[in-house]
Amino acid sequence: MSHASTPRPLRSRAGSALTGRIRVPGDKSVSHRSLMFGALAVGRTTVTGLLEGEDVLNTAGAMRAAGARILKDENGTYHIDGVGLGSLLEPEDVIDFGNAGTGVRLTMGIFGTHPIAATFVGDASLSRRPMGRVLDPLRQMGTQVVARAGDRLPLSIRGADMPLPVTYRVPMPSAQVKSAVLLAGLNTPGETVVIEPIATRDHTEKMLAGFGADISVTIDEQGARIIRLKGRPELKAQAIDVPGDPSSAAFPIVAALITPGSDVTVENVLLNEHRTGLITTLIEMGGDITIENERMAGGERVGDIRVRASKLKGVTVPANRAPSMIDEYPVLAVAAAFAEGDTFMPGLEELRVKESDRLAAVARGLEVNGIPCKEGEAELTVTGGASGIGGGIVTTHLDHRIAMSFLVLGLASDKAVTVDDGAVIATSFPTFTSLFAGLGAEISELEDARA
């Protein structure tokens, strides 16, 4: 959401069971990378199923600013005429990424080893998020940076004229940091190596290989992933069909589990092994979830996820599962509110630096709706089964996942739940309210959150 947008309060309340078959928007991670790799490739890349949320469209704008030609045809297919690796143009104006953390961090990696200058800005939420974790390895490769205190937006970079390959050990699990370094390595002579002690989503590695990059992944004796990329390949245009985003599918999945009598199937969802932590956890909690029509598409596993309302129980979520479901903890906390007993979620350091301090935002949202929880520095415990829950107004802090998670809460609560701003949902799931309405959910727009 642009920082100039008008807040749009939304309210959800319990109603009938949720039923039907739906498709959620295309995967955000794959959508971002499709645009970026298409811009760096030689020839025309076609993309069907692209997520048309604000975050991804801001990435498209950045690639256009660097010289790529990106057009959408009457069938909704995107056509990207790439400029070729090493041939990016210098943007004529600042690049506004809105709320797109993935977009801005990965673009910094791409631009950081091209001899061009660029200035990045974002909305109030993105401007609070730290960029140093990406900028530190880029500086080692020769990128010059002028930034605010704490390496926050707005900031300017000048890409290295003669970039240097690095061997970089990622200090904390982050697919964005890993990907930024690999993308910087594309236009760097020699071999760039990224060492990942804890595996994160691997879309960058898979898609780079698909575009023709010379990339390999091995596992060392400590279990760390060693990713080696040889610089300056010729990337070849591809045809990409973007599967449904599992992070978006999380909302109807949890809504169906906690709303009595529900039976919902979410079709064509990405089932990458580094993205299915929430499904694993919900099944451990007793969720009636089955995978149907499982198949391979574009090198990724996809399938239809059928969910029926279930009686859930509290669990302890292993900390090492966090990288595979980091965006899904807010809606998992909602599921935990309807589970018997305590659900303990450790290993959540990364939630402190998302679109909001997402850990604190979740805890405050639960509290204002009468749900017992305990927030630690990097963990959250939710006690389910409280009576009379709901009735609160949740502060979203410009965070789309907070907004959607608490609207899901309202669909099964004793009292309606209000979020102070639903406009932020457009960053990742622009069809959220209409899709839920089609399942039978009661979500309404308000003039005033306190009405």
Q: How far apart are CA 173 and CA 189, in angstroms?
A: 26
Cβ neighbourhood burial of 260 (10 Å; 0-12, 13-18, 19+): exposed
Q: Of 27, 202, 241, 327, which is the active-site residue?
A: 327
Active site residue 214: no
Q: Does the annotation flag 28 for ligand binding?
A: yes
Q: Is 178 annotated as a binding residue?
A: no
Residue tagged 């964005």 (tokens) = 176
Instruction: For residues 52 and 59, give the distance between their C-alpha atoms in angstroms, rounded to a whole number.
Output: 11
Question: Is 206 part of any known ligand binding site?
Answer: no
Distances from the Cα of 217 to the Cαs of 167, 193, 223, 230, 274, in angstroms? 14, 10, 12, 12, 15
DSSP state letter for 45? E
- Other beta carbons less than 10 A from residue 434's beta carbon: 9
Is residue 33 marked as binding?
Answer: yes
Distances in Å between the alpha carbon of 356 and those of 59, 160, 175, 236? 20, 32, 18, 37
Which residue, chain included where needed, has tokens 């940091």? 177
Q: Is 152 flagged in the annotation as binding?
A: no
Distance in angstroms (rounded) separating the CA atoms of residues 53 and 178: 24
176 is in an annotated binding site: yes
Q: Which two tokens stand for residue 216?
A: 């390999």
Q: Is 392 labeled as ligand-binding?
A: no
User: What amino acid is encoded at 229 in this protein?
Assistant: L
Spatial separation of the C-alpha atoms in residues 55 and 107, rounded to whole Å: 13
Annotated binding site for phosphoenolpyruvate: 28, 101, 129, 176, 358, 401
- Residues with catalytic function: 327
Binding residue numbers for 3-phosphoshikimate: 28-29, 33, 174, 176, 327, 354
Annotated binding site: 28-29, 33, 101, 129, 174, 176, 327, 354, 358, 401
